[in-house]
Chains A and B, each alone.
Chain A
C-alpha cells in the first residue's frame, strides 16, 4: 500500500510485556516521528529519526525504544509495558522537499495495557 501504514491497528497487552508497534512508509521520506495522543495532552512526540540509523528523543521518551535500520521502517518498542502507556500511537513522516515541516500521519495504533 502506498503511503504510511501502521500495524497492528489495535493491541491489548498486559503489564510487563514487550510490545512492538510497526510503522512503514513508501515515500522514502527522511524524517519519521512517533507520537502518542491522550485526552488532555494532545499529541506528544516520543522519538524521531532524521535518517536511517539516526534517532533522537522527543518530549516523552521514557519506557520506549526505537530503531531505524531501513529508511522505510520505524518500529517503536515498549520494553515493559505499563498502564500509563495505554494510548493511541501515531507514526508520521516528512522530508526535505516538503514545505515547512508538513507531516503525513499513519492511521494510528490503539494500545491498551491491562
Chain B
C-alpha cells in the first residue's frame, strides 16, 4: 500500500493570495489524482497526472508531477473563497481500480 503524505494539513489565507500544497510518498506512482471536496459533499476529481515532470493547468490551479513520480504539488494563484475545501491526492493504477488517498489539506480562503 502506498502511503501518501499531504502538507500542510490546514491552510487559512486571504482572498487574492497564492498557495501551494504538497503530496509526497516514498513510492513511485504510476499516476496521481487530485480531488476537491466541499463541505457536505463527496470528492470531485480535478486532474490526473501520469508523466514525470508533467504540468497541468486548470484555470488558476497548476498541478505538477515530480520528475521521479514520487511527489506532486498543487498551486493556486489568486485564491478565491470558492476555492475553499479539502484537497485530496490519491494514487492507484492497479487492475482492481483501487485508490489510496492522502489525508488531505483543508484550505480556507477568507474574503
Chain A residues in contact with chain B, CB under 8 A?
31, 33, 35, 40-45, 48, 50, 56, 58-59, 90, 92, 94, 99-108
Choose, from B37-45, B61-69, B76-84, the stretch at the interface: B37-45
Known contacts A99-B48, A100-B50, A101-B93; decide if A45 and B41 are in contact (CB<8 Å): no
Shortest CB–CB separation between residue A96 and chain B, in angstroms? Answer: 8
- A57–B85 Cα gap in the complex (Å)? 29
Shortest A50–chain B CB gap in Å is 7
Is A43 within 8 A of B33, CB to CB?
A: no
What does DSSP make chain B's interface, helix, strand, loop or mixed? loop
Which 7 residue pairs of A and B lie closest in terms of their CB atoms, listed nearest first? A105-B42, A42-B103, A43-B101, A101-B92, A31-B97, A100-B31, A100-B48
Which B residues have a C-beta under 8 Å from some C-beta of A?
A: 1, 31, 33, 40-45, 48, 50, 88, 92-93, 96-104
A42 near B101: Cβ-Cβ < 8 Å: yes
Residues of B within 8 Å of A41, CB to CB, are 103
Assess whether A106 is in contact with B42, with CB atoms less than 8 Å apart.
yes
On chain B, the residues within 8 Å of A104 by CB distance are 45
The reply to whether A59 and B1 form a contact with Cβ atoms under 8 Å apart is yes
Docked complex Cα distance between A48 and B99 (Å): 11
Q: Is the CB of B97 within 8 A of A94?
A: yes
Tell whether, in the assembled complex, residue B102 and residue A102 are in contact, meaning their CB atoms are under 8 Å apart: no
Chain A neighbourhood of B99, CB < 8 A: 45, 101, 103
What residues on A are CB-neighbors of B100 within 8 Å? Answer: 45
